[in-house]
Amino acid sequence: MAFAVVVLGLWQTGTTIDATHKDGLFIDPFFYGRPSGIASQLWTWIQNGTAQGPLWLQVATTLEEAFLGFLIGVVLGVVFGVALGRVRLLSDVFAPYIKALNAMPRVVLGSIFIITIGYGIWSKVALAVVLVFFVVFFNAFQGVREVDRVLIANARILGASERQLSTHVILPSALSWILASLHTSFGFALVGAVVGEYLGAIHGIGLIIATAQATFNPNGVFAAMFILAVVALTAEVALTWLENRLIKWRPNTLEVPRI
């Protein structure tokens, strides 16, 4: 907190001191904006809306795209990850393709999606899905591979069928890997949505950034980044809560209640 105050303070003073002499400025607000300018930009958006319409609509659009992309990507990632992790034949057939796709810089797919799917939300959802899928897939796959062999042996001895083995041993064991990947992958969903909007959209935070950039308005870019940061932090809190709900059985080394 103190750190943020110091940085913002330096930034603000750096862009204000000696404004009469052009050379006396440490930081040029024309390129780098300034905190007070960012705040007033935010305030203007809240009061008067953005060039694309009311601010809440832009945030809601981006959130909708990110959430849809996140959900679809997670489901696909878990299903494929578990299937390929469990079935040797499937992983032998598909693993090379998935590795090749993963090596590709996937953000370029955004342009293709906008050409094929259009300017609406689904081209952004598609980009988010692609970004999320690989993160979740590799974690689920690895999680299945790392299941303790003794636990599998024990379940077999206790009489587990193949399906019971999946639901009672493999999924719960892989769950901590999968949940860990959700933190990163929500970030990726947001990146997918924003980059997609930046490339071409009707609404959204990415579009605000693109507009601000086109009009040389650094305060606008920073203000949009600030909104994104708030969204990402909120999602992070929600995911941590979900994780703690789902993995009650794991010792929580970070939050040991003192008694």
Partner 1 sequence: MAPAIELRHVTKRFLTPSGTAYTALRELDFAVQDGEFCAVVGPTGCGKSTTLALISGLEPPSEGDVLVGGAPVRSVNRDVGYVFQVDAVFPWKSVLDNVATGPRFRGIERRQAEDRARDWIKRVGLSGFERYYPHQLSGGMRKRAALAQTLINEPRILLMDEPFSALDVQTRTLMENELLQLWSATRASVVFVTHDLEEAIALADRVVVITAGPGTVKGVYRVDLPRPRNVAEIRFQPEFSRIYQEIWNDLRDEVLVSYERSKRSVS
Residues that bind partner 1 (CB under 8 A): 150-151, 153-161, 164, 168-169, 172-173, 175, 247-251
**Do the beta carbons of residue 129 and residue 193 sit within 8 Å?**
no
Minimum CB distance to partner 1, residue 173 (Å): 7
Minimum CB distance to partner 1, residue 154 (Å): 4
Minimum CB distance to partner 1, residue 82 (Å): 16
Minimum CB distance to partner 1, residue 251 (Å): 5
Minimum CB distance to partner 1, residue 161 (Å): 7
Minimum CB distance to partner 1, residue 120 (Å): 42
**Do the beta carbons of residue 129 and residue 69 sit within 8 Å?**
yes
- Amino acid identity for residue 75 in this structure: V
Closer residue to partner 1 (CB): 5 or 259: 259
Closer residue to partner 1 (CB): 154 or 234: 154
Closer residue to partner 1 (CB): 155 or 239: 155
Closer residue to partner 1 (CB): 23 or 162: 162
Closer residue to partner 1 (CB): 100 or 254: 254
Residue 247: exposure state from Cβ atoms within 10 A (0-12, 13-18, ≥19): middle
Q: What is the 3-state secondary structure (H, E, C) of 174-220?
A: HHHHHHHHHHHHHHHHHHHHHHHHHHCCCCCHHHHHHHHHHCCCHHH
Closer residue to partner 1 (CB): 3 or 249: 249
Token pair recorded at residue 71: 């959900």
Token pair recorded at residue 157: 């001895």
Closer residue to partner 1 (CB): 184 or 252: 252
Cα 221 to Cα 24, 63, 88, 208, distances in angstroms: 25, 18, 48, 8
d(CA 82, CA 102): 18
Burial 148-187 (b: 16+ CB within 10 A, else e): eeeeeeebeeeebeeeebbeebbbebbbbbbbebbeebbb
Minimum CB distance to partner 1, residue 163 (Å): 11
